[in-house]
Amino acid sequence: MLPPSIPGVWGLAATGVLALLAVVFLVLWLRSSAKLRRSRRELADDDTEFARLELSVADQSGRLRIIRELHDLAVHRVSAMIAQADGARYAGASDPTAAVRAAHAIAETGRATLADMRRVMTLVRESEAEALPQPRLKSTRELLKVMRDAGLQVQFEEAGEPYDLNSGAELAVYRILQEALSNCLKYGGDGTEVRVAFTWTANGLAVRVDDNGFRNAVLRRGLGADETAEELAYTVEEDLKALTQEVTGRGITEMRARAELFGGIVTANEVPGVGFSIAATFPTIRFHNGVHGVDLTRR
């Protein structure tokens, strides 16, 4: 038997290489196709989720618009009831029948207003049922743990006798604390020391958050002793400015808006060379229902 010629050997080798390359390209093509299909599925899922969120936002926006309109109508009707009551008080002295007519009008207006308020509460309950459970002040410990795990060194102090609050008030306090701690982490970074203090009074609550975020951010840069001292130094003018001017920003504005709903105020100041101090004070939060601070349990 004659041995194969050299060209025949090269031909077989070339055929084998081509076959191997074909297999490699086939595998790569299959992987690429699978990856492309997976990407398309993910995009389709993202599109579906985006569409769902758009519908949810549109639905919530519609509910908020209805609630706002019903609220405006209720305010108008309550104003009319007050005017009718004042008129009945003055007219009743000389014309008792006028007082009867006014009382009838007040009753009708009150029934219509009550019906609108029930519609509002129905819409609110539907929205709450679709939302995730809202955090309460009992979740504060969990929030502090999360922030510690994120890198903050949080010290928590509490003075006075705590008591249960309106759920809306609890949520407002929780969100204010959450935003304040998030700012500590954002501007101070890992290792920032934070002191959180809750002070309960007979009817009120004061929340204070102090941090050394500015100092910590400078120390984390690893500067020399002279450069660090220069960065942390401040003038008398800067000290006076910090005492008289409050820190502003979107987060601070949102905190103030939440506090105002329950008769509270928020102040935010820079502590030169150290960090920031945020205080939320609620003088009447124990009985505050988001409209006034009257103790509704008293008669």
For the chain, which residues score pLDDT lower than 70? 1-27, 33-34, 39-73, 114-134, 239, 242-243, 289-299
Domains and CATH numbers, the chain: 10-131 (no CATH), 137-282 (3.30.565.10)
Residues 6+ apart with CB under 8 A from 101: none
Q: In what order do the strands lie in the sheet with 275-282?
A: 153-159, 193-200, 205-211, 275-282, 265-271
CB 106, CB 81: distance < 8 Å: yes
Which one, of 270, 292, 273, 271, lies nearest residue 283 by Cα?
Answer: 292
Query: Structure pTM?
Result: 0.56
Residue of 205, 199, 209, 196 lying closest to 262 (CA atoms): 205
Q: Which two tokens stand for residue 209?
A: 């958050």
* pLDDT at site 212: 95
Sequence-separated contacts (24+) of 98-107 with Cβ below 8 Å: 106/81
Q: Match 């109508």 to its residue by tokens.
A: 73
Give pLDDT, residue 120: 62
* Structure token pair of residue 61: 């926006």
Q: What is the pLDDT of residue 18?
A: 61
Nearest-5° Cα angle at 30, 21 to 45: 155
